[in-house]
Amino acid sequence: MFVVPRPRRLLTAATLTMLLLITGCGSDGPTDTHGGDDTAMANMPTMTATPTAWPSASTAPEGLLPGMPPPLDPHDLYAADRPNLLSDAVRNDLPRIYVPNNRGASVSVIDPATFTVIQTVKVAVSPEHVVPSWDLRTLWVNSDRGNTLTPIDPATGHFGRPVPVNDPYNLYFSPDGKWAIVMSEAAHQIVFRDAHTMAVHKTVPVSCDGVNHADFSPDGHYFIASCEYSGDLIKVDTEKEQVVGQMHLKATHPMPQDVKISPDGRTWYVADMHTSGIWILNGDAFTPPRFLDTGAGAHGLYVSRDSKSLYITNRGEGSISLLNFATGTLVAKWQIPGGGSPDMGGLSADGTVMWMSGRYDGVVYAIDTRDGHLIRKIKVGTEPHGLLIWPQPGRYSLGHTGIMR
């Protein structure tokens, strides 16, 4: 049985009030095309200089999931995600963009310094996302129809031997680092597995269709997941490992996608690809949400490195909308020149570049977050999906394409 190595480095900082143990072929030859939009947008997040130390950790609030690291700031879940605030665990990892080509059964590896594909690696059929483990020491390629998780060593970029896992459409990790949580979309299951060996711990059947994306509450006691094909949201108790709530979204044909919680932990956002916007709800109460139109095919949700903005990819119209967390309003929309299909991705370590897969254009977009202009299009494989930028700031990963805390 393949066993993921235990963490080999500790995250240390004098300013923390406690020590937190962090537990976690191909061909070259890209085709790059240049393009850009010179129109500067207002209300953009301002990136800070490279931090030299972690912020002081707050006193651990009562009621956290046992074993979960306390937040650095009780008012900002993303306080550990500041520009270039890399932990010791990832500081020496290779800077790479890992792009799963869903229809190409491969992963394109991009050097972000040169915007070139330096390697293309074959993996099991239908790779969906590349996901960092909780301890940050393994990157997992999720191949749902190939029924495997393929490990990547982020220090060397080496692809390891695939681990048999049934229907891993997406992958998350419990906030205490104990369980890998596999979203088995086709099997209508959420499967709790050992975070290191991937051995099955508990299988939770779900009655909704297309369970795939999720995010966790500030205290780690529950997560909310979207069910794409039935138009539902479900609430799952992390500790009891059971579904405790289900809600159907009130729209003609809802198709919920990515899920993200606000920095203050009070508000949840769910992208809806068919209704073309985001649902905004109270996760604790789990009451009917309100809707905000953002653009056709709303799909991915990403928080800026200063915790001020939410980036929303509108896959159906080739744009990215910006929501200001403080006001709850949309403040900008960036249009990809010539159109496109921005899907999944994330931000560079310094927060100045957004990397997005162009799902139906066979490219990856590099977008400047300071004014929204397109830096580069990079040709990759067929139907690039949940790409991962690595390394990223943060102490530990909750999964997907880098939900870092």
- Coil/strand/helix, residue 91: coil
CA 387 to each of CA 7, 131, 315: distance values in angstroms, whole numbers, following the listed order: 23, 9, 15
Give me the pLDDT at residue 219, please: 96
- Coil/strand/helix, residue 360: coil
Can you tell me the distance from the alpha carbon of 81 to that of 394, in angstroms, rounded to the nearest whole number? 5
In contact, 194 and 174? CB cutoff 8 Å:
no
pTM: 0.87
List Cβ neighbours of 305 (8 Å cut-off, separation of 6 or more): 45, 47, 78, 81, 82, 83, 347, 350, 351, 393
User: Percent of the chain, pLDDT > 70?
Assistant: 85
Tell me which architecture the domain covering 32-390 has in CATH: 7 Propeller (2.130)
Dihedral over Cα of 221, 223, 224, 228: its sign: negative
Can you tell me the distance from the alpha carbon of 332 to that of 321, in angstroms, rounded to the nearest whole number? 6
In contact, 99 and 355? CB cutoff 8 Å:
no
Cα-Cα-Cα-Cα torsion 376, 377, 381, 383, nearest 10 degrees, comes to 120
Can you tell me the distance from the alpha carbon of 364 to that of 63, in angstroms, rounded to the nearest whole number? 41
Burial 190-213 (b: 16+ CB within 10 A, else e): bbbbebbebeeeeebebebebbbb
Give me the pLDDT at residue 55, please: 52
Give me the pLDDT at residue 14, please: 32
In contact, 220 and 65? CB cutoff 8 Å:
yes
Can you tell me the distance from the alpha carbon of 113 to that of 387, in angstroms, rounded to the nearest whole number? 17
pLDDT tens digits along 36-54: 333 333 344 444 444 445 5
In contact, 226 and 213? CB cutoff 8 Å:
yes
Q: Where are the domains of the chain?
A: 32-390
In contact, 127 and 110? CB cutoff 8 Å:
no
Can you tell me the distance from the alpha carbon of 91 to that of 393, in angstroms, rounded to the nearest whole number? 9
- Coil/strand/helix, residue 79: helix
Which residue type, as a one-letter code, is found at position 29? G
> With a cut of 70, which residues of the chain have pLDDT below it?
1-62
